[in-house]
Amino acid sequence: MAAEDDDRPGLKVPSGRLSRMVSMGGLAGGIAGNMLVEGGKRLAKGERPSLNELLLTPGNANRVADQLSRLRGAAMKVGQLISMDAGEIVPPELAELLARLRSSAHAMPAKQLRSVLNDQWGRGWISNFERFDVTPLAAASIGQVHRGLTKDGRDLAIKVQYPGVRESIDSDVDNVMSLIKLSGVLPKSLDLKPLLDEAKAQLHEEADYRREAEYLSRFVALLGEDDRFCLPKAYDDLTTTDVLAMDYLPGNPIESVEHLDQVERDRVATLLFDLFIHEIYSYRLMQTDPNFANFLYHPKTKKVVLLDFGATREFEEDFTECYRRLAVGGLSGDQEMVRAAAAGIGFSTDGMATEKAQLLMDMLSISLEPVRENAPFDFGKSDIAQRLRDKGLAFRQDGDFGPVPKPQALFLHRKVAGIYLLAHRLKARVNVRALLNPFIPEVSE
């Protein structure tokens, strides 16, 4: 048993609104101090640095990333959302600054963990366990995961939410965005309110572990008979709003597949593309977080283990129909259908300069390359990510970021970008068109 006091390292999560606000204030003050020092150094050298250059120094990047990872919760999560692989909204220097937040957060110390579990399960909860590992298996933005063996024989992965996360979501998001606006790298004309409102709503949903358990159960019902995948079962008797208890499932990191033969790499990548396509068109229900840690590979059964359903989103049929028509138009060469479908997603070219509208259409065309040919696409040799990045830089060159797509579109794009990235990592060859054909009969006939 491992639930008694120990001296394992951890970093207490500021749980009260005041303490979190003070932390954010200290962050802003530290950044301002760094800017003054750096500005003085550059002026002494005869340089005239811009505000952007002073803010986005390595020192300030480290300070921002470290402080937000200490706060965890929405403060850390919003940085992750803004640095999405598919996010054309922010400039690369800001995305790079926030990209560090994709890594694990600090774990909370044992005493704070015990306090949370006492509140959720009542004092004496340890009597229900043969073993409870205080050291977490993983620590992320909203909670950390522990392994425990109950006296009735259940081997569990137990996700425990950091204290104060739910209550601080709105203020944390607003505070982080205030820091980002201070940088001046986002144009004043850019309206991020719809995205931020959606981010807050999603974070409130992710902070409800009962909701996550319900979505996990829905995916188990959808995929439970599919022997290509393995999903944990959630246990209601130990699950609360702040604690999620589910089966512990062993497996290797999904990236480990890159060391296997070509056939297996192709098969695993194909499974994930097939799941993604069904999530859009069949289920209209998608786990939108592409973090590699949400997928494991079981070497004996060769199953892909699916984890973490907190970022699950439901899509309206009209929304997914826009993506179907985008694919149909792109593959059949119907540019008007592509424009109309893109507008339905939020990428309207109305009133846009001809050159800029063409850049947007070019990016949509590049993103469809893996499905253009009814043959295996070699993601390992593809430079799609680089070309999309180059087009995106050209699109933003005049300081006009263009239309902000619907928030649900950003989360969907984040997922597909993550799958593309994983397929590239695995050097996989996937016939994505064959997987998509059942949903685009107009083109596949």
Q: What is the pLDDT of residues 282-324, one digit of tens each?
A: 999 999 988 888 999 999 999 999 999 998 999 999 999 999 9
Burial 297-331 (b: 16+ CB within 10 A, else e): beeeeebbbbbbbbbbbebeeebbebbbbbbbbbb
The pLDDT assigned to 87 comes to: 41
Tell me the whole-structure pTM to 2 decimals. Answer: 0.78
Question: Which letter does DSSP use for residue 318 in this model?
Answer: H
- Give the domain ranges of the chain: 17-103+172-188, 250-445
CA distance 383 to 380: 9
Active-site residue (options: 85, 242, 289, 308): 289
Regions in the chain scoring below 70 on pLDDT = 1-106, 176, 178-192, 194-195, 396-404, 444-445
The pLDDT assigned to 410 comes to: 79
Amino acid, res. 375: A
Q: How many residues does the chain have?
A: 445
Query: From the CB of residue 189, how many other CB atoms can be counted at a distance below 10 Å?
Result: 8
Would residue 208 show up in a list of annotated catalytic residues for this protein? no
Reduce the secondary structure of 221-281 to three states and give it as a string.
Answer: HHHCCCCCEECCCECHHHCCCCEEEEECCCCEEHHHHHHCCHHHHHHHHHHHHHHHHHHHH
Q: What are the residues facing 230 on neighbouring strands?
A: 305
The pLDDT assigned to 28 comes to: 44
